[in-house]
Amino acid sequence: MNEMWIYLNHLFNADMVVKLIRAVAILIVGYSLAKLFSRFCLQFISKLFTQQTSQLIQRGTYYLIFTLFVFSALLELGFNLNVLLGAASVLTVAIGFASQTSASNFISGMFLMAERSFIIGDVIKVGNTVGEVLSIDLLSVKVRTFDNLFVRLPNEVLIKSEVTTLTKFPIRRLDLKIGVAYKENINRVKGILEKVAFDNPLCLEEPKPLYIFQGFEDSSLSLQFSVWAKRENFLDLKNSMYEEIKHAFDNENIEIPFPHLSLYAGNNTDPFPIKITKDK
C-alpha cells in the first residue's frame, strides 16, 4: 500500500499536475478556436462553393486545427511525438493497402467536388439509375430514385461512367418520334404539329419547335418533332403533347400506321389474297 502511494505521489507531483492543467487548457482553447474558425470559414466559403463542399471544408478545417492543439497538449505532457508519428505512418500504410477501394473513392470524390458536374438537388442519370442527388460525400453519392428508392453510387463508378445531369440547364428539349402513313401529306402533318405546340401553354415559343423528316420506315413516314419546355414542366409537357397529337390526328383523319407485311409478286400485281378456312 505504501509503495502504491509513493508511486502515485511520484506520478502526480506538482510539476505533472501543472503540465496536466496546461494540456487541458490547450485542448479547451484549441476546441474553441477550431469551432470558431471553422464557422467563420463556412460563412466565407459558402458564397463560393456548394453546400456539400462548404460543409466538407468546414469539417476538414476544424479537425486540422484541433489536431494541432492535440499534438501541442501531448508535447506539454512530455510525449515523444516522433514515436507517435512513426507509428501513425506505419498504420497509415497498412490501412492504405487494406482500403485501396476506399482510397480510390475518396480521390474520385475530390475530383467530383472540384468539377461540380452536379450539386445536391440535381437529377442525374448513371447507367439505368435516374434520381435526385441527396448528398455528395467523400466515398459515395446518395441518390433517391423517382420510385422512392435509396441508391448509393461509389464515387469511382461516377468518375468512370457517363453521368447525365438532367437539371443542369433551365430548359430541356422534348424529342417526339412520330410515324404517319405513306398516303399523308407531310406538309399538312407539319402544320398540325405546329398548331398543337402553339396551343400548348407548356411549350416555349423560343427556342422554336423543330421539325425533321427522318426518312422512310417499313410501314410509315418517320418524323421527329422537338419542342422546348422549362425543366420543371418537362414531364407534364411530354404527357400532354402525345395526348394532344393523338387527338389532333384523329380529328384531321391522319393515320398512325402499325407495322404490317404485304406480299407482292411484282410491281404491277395485286397482293396475294389470303383466305382462312376451317378444317372439316
pLDDT at 86: 62
User: Which pLDDT score is estimated for 91?
Assistant: 58
Instruction: Summarize the confidence of residues 139-143 as an average pLDDT.
Output: 88
* Residue ranges covered by each domain of the chain: 11-98, 112-165, 171-251
Give Cα separations from 16 to 4, 19, 24, 77, 82 (angstroms): 17, 5, 12, 8, 21
**Residue 197: band (very low, low, confident or very high) from pLDDT cuts 50, 70, 90:** very high
Phi, psi of 178, deg, nearest 5:
-130, 140
Fold topology of 112-165: SH3 type barrels. (2.30.30)
Q: At residue 85, does pLDDT exceed 70?
A: no
Q: Which residue has the higher pLDDT, 81 or 164?
A: 164
11-98 belongs to CATH 1.10.287: yes
Sequence-distant (≥ 6) Cβ neighbours of residue 226 within 8 angstroms: 173, 174, 175, 176, 209, 210, 211, 212
From 71-75, 91-95, 240-244, the region with the lowest mean pLDDT? 91-95
pLDDT at position 183 over 80 = yes
Domains 11-98 and 112-165 share a fold: no
- pLDDT, residue 149, reads 93
The residues near 211 (Cβ < 8 Å, ≥ 6 apart) are 190, 193, 194, 223, 224, 225, 226
- What is d(CA 116, CA 217) in angstroms, rounded to the nearest whole number? 42
Tally of CB atoms within 10 A around 54: 18
* Listed residue (146, 208, 200, 121) closest to 173, CA to CA: 208
Q: ∠ CA(154), CA(109), CA(119), 5° rounding?
A: 95
Which pLDDT belongs to residue 271?
61
Minimum mean pLDDT range among 42-46, 48-52, 167-171, 174-178: 48-52
- Which value, to the nearest 10 degrees, does the dihedral of the CA atoms of residues 255, 260, 265, 267 take? 30
Task: Pull the grid cell for residue 218.
Answer: 417499313
Whether the link from the prior residue into 207 is cis, omega within 30° of 0, is yes
Reported as a pLDDT band with limits 50, 70 and 90, residue 20 is confident
Residue 19: which region, alpha, beta or left (left: phi > 0; alpha: psi -120 to 50)?
Answer: alpha
Q: Average model confidence (pLDDT) for the chain? A: 79
CB 271 within 8 A of CB 262: yes
Residue 13 is predicted with a pLDDT of 60
State yes or no: pLDDT of 143 exceeds 90. yes
Residue range 221-250: mean pLDDT, rounded? 91
pLDDT of residue 53: 64
Question: Confidence class of residue 245 from pLDDT cuts 50, 70 and 90?
Answer: very high
6 grid coordinates? 509513493
Most confident of 31-35, 37-41, 63-67, 247-251: 247-251
Judge whether residue 56 has pLDDT over 80.
Answer: no
Between the CA atoms of 248, 251, 256 and 261, what dihedral angle is there, to the nearest 10 degrees? Answer: 180
Of 258 and 91, more confident: 258
CATH number, span 171-251 = 3.30.70.100
Per-residue cell: 33: 478556436
Q: Per-residue DSSP letters for 27-70?
A: HHHHHHHHHHHHHHHHHHHTTTS-HHHHHHHHHHHHHHHHHHHH
Spatial distance between the Cα atoms of 30 and 62, rounded to a whole number of angstroms:
10
Summarised one tens digit per residue, pLDDT across range 250-260 is 999 998 887 66
Q: Can you give the pLDDT at residue 61?
A: 78
Q: What's the pLDDT tens digit per position in 198-230?
A: 999 999 988 999 999 988 887 889 999 999 999
